[in-house]
Amino acid sequence: MNWMGPFQQLGRSLMLPMTALPAAAILLFAGNAIPWTMFGLDHFGQVLIYAGDTVFAYLPYLFAVGVAMGLTDNASSAALTSLLSYFLFTRITVYYAEHPLQIGVSGAIMIGLLTAVAYNRLKHIKLPEPIQFFGGPRFVPLFMSIATMMFSYFFAKLNPRIEQMLDGLSDLILNLEGFGVFLYGVLHRLLVPTGLHHILNNVMWFQVGSYERADGQTMFGDLPRFFAGDPDAGIYMAGLYPVMMFALPAIAFAIIKEAREDLKPKIKAMFLTAALGSFLTGVSEPVEFAFLFAAPYVFVIHAILSGFIMWLVYALDIHHGFAYSAGAFDFILNAHLARREIWLIPIGIAYGLFYYHAFRWIIRRFQIRTPGREDETELDDWSGDIPYRAPLVMEALGGKANIARMEACITRLRLTLHDDRLMDISALKTLGAAGVIRLGGGNVQVVFGTYSELLKEQMGRIMRQDFNQVSFFAPVQGRMMKLEEVPDTIFAKGLVGMGVAFFPERGELVSPVAGKVIHLYPTLHAIGIRTKEGLEVLLHIGIDTTQLEGKGFTSYVQIGDEVKPGQLLIRFQLALVRKQAKSLATPMVITNPERVKSWNFAPFKAVKKGQASVMTVVLKGEQANGGKQHG
């Protein structure tokens, strides 16, 4: 499964050039839909249209740069080399080809791939000292100039056969007609969890079909053809509108309706936002990932239904397109280029009603644990909390040293970990992840919604800093609570130390950190650990448990023992402590908090025993991460 890593990178890199398309759509809308002649500004309207067309005319150049950057960790020299190579490619092929070369974005992607491979293999090359100036990354443009000339020459000579092959593939897909649209719709949804749908989209949106404009320029793919005015374009995009604008919001409403009454306000706020996001912008993951992991078979059914609705829209000869995704913004913005688009509204409403009732029945009938039907919801609203949770997320991924590569797309972090077994999935879900996908070979995707890019940037800043951070694991299974909520004045006011507390559900206490046992009270209700950084951590089982005089407590360590996170320290009889103690609240405090510069806490909710990243601290005298300060 190691091949998944490069494909993930390629999928993300293909998304990068598409960020320019919404600007083109807005320019074309403003140029065509606004009656500039009424204001005596007809020339300005033509300028807007020309500007929008220019984006599509130079789209291959954007793909050449985007693919190279996406596959080289945003290396600027690779981007410049790819742009240079694509200039050479277009000029040489025009010169040598027997007739004009028309392959659209395909050639740009090939140049971007070749540049990325060359950069990754040659960026550290060493030359003899007198000419080392041309070594390292500076060698890549020299190499690619020669390689591109050779590649372009042979490509030009093989041009008729290549064009014939691409045209044949395009005709094969188009000749499938409605069934081809159905297959695309199903595969598009099934590939969303892996992020590989971007590669499929690139084929359908930028390769399939051709259209010659009035100025003689040929546009390739469903998306450029649609914006160029091709009346036959838009068949691989129109059917996505009912899914994004109506079906997925209907699923969100079904999840809200089937949530427990005590959790319904939180679920309502969360999924109304997700439904609105899907309706307006076509961002689907926050809704789809809410049931994908709980019931994968339901997601397969959803994928098939999505294919059928795309087939129906094709059969009704409806054509529509988008620059970003199939949301209401694109629906309105690009309606001036669409055909019979108004029918998408009643179709979407009917499909939405069907989805709503079907998903409510499925959730109840098969007892699917969608958010709001479990003890704690997996999704969380933490848009303003990114600097605060970023260090916790990093620790839940196994720490800074475990992250080999980190990227982000619209809704997810794309990571390559040295050892994905060090990742704590429960901690990631507690920190707001809607889902975690293991793709093999250390390649992992963590879905954090539309804040993933911001989270990646914050984590990147933390990884570039050098500071002494200590991460704490959950010492018990139960509910994490604020220290101020402990029913004991000494702990609640921080007189013993600063930290958090837990309300245990099982009678086991494990070590939250690596360190040495320095205190073990005779009554076994409390234990102290000193970390290698010098932090002194006190764990106190329950409140007023001294009076039990050790009854019901069994210690598995002694003073002087070295312990590691998750190691069993003490077992206690939960029922006995609950009955005879004032409270089960179990504080975990640092008794020398003057050594701590900043504190980060995970959300105060249910945790599993040994769960990573319930609390992290940065020590004084080191560079802090910019998180929230407490105490």
Which residues are the active-site residues?
Answer: 409
Strands 508-510 vs 568-572: parallel, antiparallel or unpaired = antiparallel
Query: For the sheet containing 615-619, what is the strand order?
Result: 469-472, 615-619, 596-601
Element (H, E) at 205: helix 197-206
Strands 478-482 vs 606-607: parallel, antiparallel or unpaired = antiparallel
Shortest CA distance to 378 belongs to which of 614, 606, 600?
606
Residues 619 and 621: their CA atoms lie apart, in Å, by 6
Residue 118 near residue 151, CB atoms below 8 Å: no
Residue 478 near residue 503, CB atoms below 8 Å: yes
Tokens matching residue 585: 């609240």
Q: Tell me if residue 366 falls in helix, strand or coil.
A: coil
Using the Cα atoms of residue 611, residue 615, residue 621 and residue 622 in order, give the sign of their dihedral: positive
Shortest CA distance to 103 belongs to which of 162, 171, 175?
162
- HEC-encoded secondary structure of 388-447: HHHHHHHHHCCCHHHEEEEEECCCEEEEEECCHHHCCHHHHHHCCCCEEEEEECCEEEEE
Output b/e per residue, 30-42; b: 16+ Cβ within 10 A.
bbbeeebeeeeee
Tokens matching residue 199: 């590669």
Element (H, E) at 86: helix 76-96
Q: Is 121 exposed, middle or buried (0-12, 13-18, 19+ CB in 10 A)?
A: exposed
Residue 321 near residue 226, CB atoms below 8 Å: yes
Kindly report the length of the chain: 631
Shortest CA distance to 76 belongs to which of 28, 129, 47, 119?
119
Residue 413 near residue 445, CB atoms below 8 Å: yes
Shortest CA distance to 235 belongs to which of 269, 277, 185, 276?
185
User: Letter for the amino acid at 295?
Assistant: A
